[in-house]
Structure 1
Amino acid sequence: MHEENGPWNQWRFEMEPGGPQHVGGDTPLLSGREWMIIALSGLMILNGWYFLGIITVNILILLILERKGVLDRWNATRVLGFILMIRTSRGQLTLEKISRPRRLWRWFGEFSLWLCAFILLITTTLITLSAITLLNQPTSQSLETSDVLLIPGVSNGIPLMWPLLALMVALVIHEYGHGIQMRAHGMRVRSFGLLIASMIPIGAFAEPEAREITQAPIRERMRTYAAGPAVNLVMAALLTVVLASTMMSIDPYDEGAYSPAIVVEGPSEAAGLLPYDIIIKVENASIGSASDLQNKLSQASAGDIWTMAVLPYDNGSWGNQIELEIILGDKHAHYLAMNVTPEMLEALDIKPGDPFMGVSGDGLGPAIQSTTGGRDRLIGPFAADLSASERILYGVTHPLQLLSIPLTFDGEVMASAEAAMLDVGPIHQEIINGIFWFWWINFLLGFANLIPVVPFDGGHLMRDAIRGSIQAVSNRISILHPQRMEIFATKTANVASLLFVGIFVLPILFRLVV
Structure 2
Amino acid sequence: MNVLWYYVIFFAIVWVLALLFRNKLKMDVYGPILMRRTQKMRGFIEWVANTSPRFWRWSMNLGIPISVFCMGLSVYLIIISLPRMFQSPQAALLLPGVDIPGSPIFIPIFSGIIALILLMIVHEFGHGILARAQGVGIKSIGVILLAILPGAFVELDEEDVKKAKRSVKLRIYAAGSMFNFGLAAIAWVVVIILTSSFIPYAFQSDGVKIISVTPGGPAEGVLQEGMVVSSINGISVNSGAAYTDLIINKTKPGDTMTYVTDQGTYTITSTSNPNNASTAYPGTRNEIHLEVKPSVAQTYGDIIPWFLFDLADVCYWIYALNIMVGLFNLLPMKPLDGGIIFEELLRYKVSENVTGKIVSSVSWIMIGIVTLLVVYGTVPGILKMF
Equivalent position amino acid for 2:363 in 1: S
Listed as ranges, the gaps of 5+ residues in structure 2 are 101-105, 208-233, 241-258, 263-282, 297-301, 381-386
1:501 aligns to 2:367 (yes or no): yes
- The answer to whether 1:151 aligns with 2:95 is yes
Aligned CA distance change for structure 1 residues 437 and 79 (closer, same or farther; 3 Å): farther
Alpha-carbon distance between aligned partners in 2 of 1:152 and 1:493, rounded to the nearest angstrom: 33
Residue 151 of structure 1 aligns to a residue whose secondary structure is coil
1:427 aligned to which of 307, 325, 331: 307
Residues 1:51 and 1:495: Cα distance change in structure 2 (over 3 Å): farther
2:322 to 432, 438, 442: 442
Over residues 202-235 of structure 1, what are the superposed CA-to-partner deviations in whole Å (9 max), with x where a residue is unaligned? 2111001123324433222121111011111111
Structure number, greater radius of gyration: 1
Q: Report the residue type matching 1:416 in the other structure.
A: I
Report the Cα offset of residue 122 of structure 1.
0.9
Corresponding position: 1:202 with 2:150: yes
Partner of residue 88, structure 1: 38
- For residues 277 and 185 of structure 1, the distance between their equivalents in structure 2, rounded to whole angstroms, comes to 53
Paired residues of 1:109 and 1:227 also in contact (CA < 8 A): yes
Task: Report what 2:352 is aligned to.
Answer: 486
> Counterpart of 1:213?
161
Q: Residues 219 and 273 of structure 1: is their aligned pair in 2 closer, same or farther, counting only changes over 3 Å?
A: same
SS in 1 for 2:199: coil
Paired position in structure 2 for 1:466: 346
AA aligned to 1:78 is V
Q: State the Cα deviation string for residues 319-378 of structure 1 (Å, max 9, x = none).
A: xxxxxxxxxxxxxxxxxxxxxxxxxxxxxxxxxxxxxxxxxxxxxxxxxxxxxxxxxxxx
Q: 1:189: which partner in 2?
A: 138
Higher strand fraction (1 or 2): 2
What corresponds to 2:190 in structure 1? 242
Pair 54,276 (structure 1): closer, same or farther in 2 beyond 3 Å: closer
CA distance in 1, matches of 2:181, 2:363: 24
Offset of residue 498 of structure 1: 1.9
In structure 2, which of residues 121, 126, 131 is the aligned counterpart of residue 177 of structure 1? 126
Indicate which of 213, 238, 243 corresponds to 1:276.
238
2:26 maps to a residue whose letter is N
The 8 Å contact of residues 114 and 314 in structure 2, kept in 1 or not, is answered as no
Helix, strand or coil at the partner of 2:347: helix
Letter in 1 for 2:308: H
2:331 equivalent in structure 1: 451
User: Which residue of structure 2 lines up, in the alignment, with residue 119 of structure 1?
Assistant: 70
Verify the 8 A CA contact 2:334 2:363 in the aligned structure 1: yes
Structure-2 change in CA distance of 1:176 and 1:509 (3 Å)? same
Report how many aligned residue pairs link the two structures.
Answer: 305
Residue 444 of structure 1: how far off its partner (Å)? 2.8
Q: Report what 1:62 is aligned to.
A: 15
| Contact residue 175 and residue 205 of structure 1 kept, 8 A | yes
Is residue 467–residue 493 contact of structure 1 (8 Å, CA) maintained in 2? no
Inter-partner Cα distance in structure 2 for 1:52 and 1:249: 36
Superposition deviation, residue 454 in structure 1 = 1.8
The residue identity in structure 1 corresponding to 2:164 is: A
TM-score relative to the length of structure 2: 0.66
Aligned to 2:89: 141
Matched, 1:97 2:47: yes
108, 111, 114: which one pairs with 1:165?
Answer: 114
Give RMSD over aligned pairs.
4.1
Indicate how the Cα distance of structure 1 residues 491 and 60 shifts in structure 2: closer, same or farther if over 3 A, else same.
same
Provide the rounded CA distance (Å) in 2 between the counterparts of 1:208 and 1:435. Answer: 30
SS of the residue corresponding to residue 98 of structure 2 reads coil
Instruction: Quickly say closer, same or farther: Cα 1:76–1:159, change in 2 above 3 A.
Output: same
How far the C-alpha of 1:155 sits from its partner, in A, is: 4.9
Q: Does 1:73 align with 2:24?
A: yes
CA distance in 2, matches of 1:253, 1:181: 42
Displacement, 1:133? 4.8
Maintained 8 Å contact 2:116/2:321: yes
Asked whether the equivalents of residues 37 and 142 of structure 2 are also in contact (C-alpha less than 8 Å), the reply is: yes
Structure 1 position 233 matched with structure 2 position 181: yes
In structure 2, how many angstroms separate the alpha carbons of the residues matched to 1:201 and 1:506?
Answer: 18
Question: How far 1:499 sits from its partner (Å)?
Answer: 2.2
CA-to-aligned-CA distance 1:387-441 (integer Å, 9 cap, x gap):
xxxxxxxxxxxxxxxxxxxxx994x7xx224x34876733332222232233233
How far off its partner does 1:165 sit? Answer: 2.1
**CA offsets per residue over residues 7-59 of structure 1, 9 Å max, x none?**
xxxxxxxxxxxxxxxxxxxxxxxxxxxxxxxxxxxxxx9xx99669928x845
Q: Give the C-alpha shift of residue 178 in structure 1.
A: 0.2
Output the amino acid matched with 1:54: V
- In 1, are the aligned partners of 2:178 and 2:326 still within 8 Å (CA)? yes
Relative distance call for 1:251 and 1:456 in structure 2 (3 A) is same
Structure 1 residues 108 and 155: CA distance shift in structure 2, 3 A: farther
Q: What pairs up with 1:367-446 in 2 under 5 angstroms?
A: 410=285, 415-417=287-289, 419-420=290-291, 425-446=305-326
Q: Does the C-alpha gap of structure 1 residues 221 and 155 become closer, same or farther in structure 2, counting only changes over 3 Å? A: farther
Look up the SS of the partner of 1:206 in the other structure. Answer: strand
| CA positional deviation for 1:61 | 5.5
- Report the Cα offset of residue 123 of structure 1: 0.8
User: 1:229–1:450: 8 Å Cα contact kept in structure 2?
Assistant: yes
Q: What TM-score do you get using the length of structure 1 for normalisation?
A: 0.51
1:237, distance to aligned residue in structure 2 (A) = 0.7
| Structure 1 pair 203–431 and aligned structure 2 pair: CA distance change class (3 A) | same
> Which of 66, 76, 79 is the equivalent residue of 1:128?
79
Task: Report the Cα distance in structure 1 between the residues aligned to 2:40 and 2:115, rounded to whole angstroms.
Answer: 21
1:166/1:141 CA distance change after superposition, 3 Å:
closer
How much does 1:116 deviate?
A: 1.6
Q: Distance in 1 between matches of 2:355 and 2:44?
A: 38
> How many Å separate the matches in 1 of 2:109 and 2:7?
20
> Percent of aligned pairs with the same residue?
24
